[in-house]
Structure 1
């Protein structure tokens, strides 16, 4: 295991020095829809809370290996807070070593509830696609990666990209919000039943959501043949978000003939991030790299036709 971790850490260090300095981009420069005064954002000990002005933090690819692929990373935290270091910055730094341009999404949470997070992630996809040339990315290679509740948000982007709730009436609504691929880390998927994470459900949908809303946001039920190719990673040891969440989504993908791959590991508690010492589960970045490479997402994109 240590033989694997050391090269990753060295590559991370190289990437931090080589990649462009992070830039924070406002997601709604014209004004946040449904804006309300909830006080200042709280940021400390690796977490963000109380977000009212969503942003994207750009972490560029290692300077010698940009490939044109972009990934929007949504950290988890039950729609109450975001583990921005463990499930945001660390992922972005690793992805940089693979030549990926990463955008860590700081999205609205329980203070706004549905559909604000959905609007934020779909706005992020639209924004990157509309400004792909500026960021040096391929508009047809924009993925969304999320962990836990961030995984639910990523899965929502992959299933509800055409849902009216994700539009706000701006010109960017005309740009496709469909991600080209998804990477879901121990995601929240179900909003009812034994697999549901009720904390995420309450934070997103409120204490007494309608059955219609529960059905809509149980995202395995929203999978169609248009849902993008998906990689799922989860563990048996996850006591917070049961592994059945990933299984439900994988079954829905398979039923709809959507290309999908799933790795279910024995060890690794919820929120494992890129932690070492979890037997095979600590190898998930290798499996993810293999999946991205097999889909051609780590090969430099062909220049756009003039």
Structure 2
């Protein structure tokens, strides 16, 4: 596909990141509650939600949300929308969900390229939800359906919705893409729509939950102290049925000491075996959890441009609508 002027402008916009700002950008004013009432299966949940700020630098936020009971989507809108949308699922080892580093920071970059972006703050499996390890997936499926419903009401393209997940959020985005089963009972008309994304972007994903390459913290939070081999297999991305799934973009740093690169390598092999179109980028250095701010000045900082160029080849960058 030949890249047009709009594509080039979108790529150029990615060069502007929050790292250059002296004051942290304001939070988006628009949020969407996922569920019209209480989230499903919360009878035994007593945790009190908190949002913790870790940054002491006024130039940026570094927050995480823990014990979420009322999951939300934070909407980051582009100045000139191109009809495409992106659901962002940050990481946090299923212990919490980061807000900024892999959420709002990344959303602002892709919104600058024309995508309407939605950052998911999801429930966590260890808080007593009836669905257990499927509680985060309930939120992800519901979120994708709400995004698709809003694309229809706002005149955007319901068939150009990407999901971007990082670390444990990459595991959740992978399950959203691969799992065929709806994990909750319908609550309104939005649930008549598909929860399947049209493109999936997985950044340094937690893919396998099996030793020796599992991220032990994510596995413990998701599956408990001593999961059976059958449960581990059922929640490992590389062991899921990927046949017929949409194109996938995978990115990982070879020196990732938290989530070994073998997570992505095994997943890439599974995607290829299932004939899923996959693009993969492995960087010699970069570590883990870098988002867009923590990778500045290193080779992996080009990853948003690589994602956008890949999306362009799939027909996603068009004139503003």
> Into which bin does the TM-score normalised by the smaller protein fall?
0.7 to 0.9
Aligned residue number for residue 297 of structure 1: 316
2:207 to 184, 189, 196: 189
Residue 250 of structure 1 and its aligned partner are, at CA, apart by 1.0
Residue 209 of structure 1 and its aligned partner are, at CA, apart by 2.3
Aligned length in residues: 292
Aligned residue number for residue 72 of structure 2: 55
Residue 255 of structure 1 and its aligned partner are, at CA, apart by 0.8
Residue 21 of structure 1 and its aligned partner are, at CA, apart by 4.6
Contact 1:122–1:157, Cα closer than 8 Å, also in 2: yes
Q: Does 1:34 align with 2:41?
A: yes
What are structure 1's unaligned runs of at least 5 residues?
Answer: none
Q: Does 1:22 align with 2:29?
A: yes
Counterpart Cα distance in 2 of 1:56 and 1:12: 26
The 1:213–1:173 alpha-carbon spacing in structure 2 relative to 1, beyond 3 Å, is farther
SS in 1 for 2:305: helix
Contact 2:256–2:287, Cα closer than 8 Å, also in 1: yes
Aligned residue number for residue 304 of structure 2: 285
Q: Does 1:44 align with 2:53?
A: yes
Q: Does 1:8 align with 2:27?
A: no
Aligned residue number for residue 180 of structure 1: 198
Residue 173 of structure 1 and its aligned partner are, at CA, apart by 3.7
Aligned residue number for residue 184 of structure 2: 167
Counterpart Cα distance in 1 of 2:308 and 2:103: 17
Residue 282 of structure 1 and its aligned partner are, at CA, apart by 1.6
Moved more, 19-28 or 72-81: 19-28
How far does the alpha carbon of each residue in 1:211-231 deviate from its partner, in whole angstroms, 9 at most, with x for none?
A: 332111101111322221110
Counterpart Cα distance in 1 of 2:196 and 2:300: 29
Contact 1:268–1:278, Cα closer than 8 Å, also in 2: no
Counterpart Cα distance in 2 of 1:206 and 1:232: 27
Residue 121 of structure 1 and its aligned partner are, at CA, apart by 0.3
Counterpart Cα distance in 2 of 1:53 and 1:235: 34
How far does the alpha carbon of each residue in 1:110-134 deviate from its partner, in whole angstroms, 9 at most, with x for none?
A: 3144110010000011112223233
Contact 1:223–1:253, Cα closer than 8 Å, also in 2: no
Q: Does 1:144 align with 2:157?
A: no
The 1:157–1:7 alpha-carbon spacing in structure 2 relative to 1, beyond 3 Å, is closer
Counterpart Cα distance in 1 of 2:86 and 2:207: 20
TM-score scaled by length of structure 1: 0.88
SS in 2 for 1:232: strand
Counterpart Cα distance in 2 of 1:59 and 1:103: 6
Contact 2:173–2:202, Cα closer than 8 Å, also in 1: yes
Aligned residue number for residue 220 of structure 2: 202
The 1:85–1:20 alpha-carbon spacing in structure 2 relative to 1, beyond 3 Å, is closer
TM-score scaled by length of structure 2: 0.84
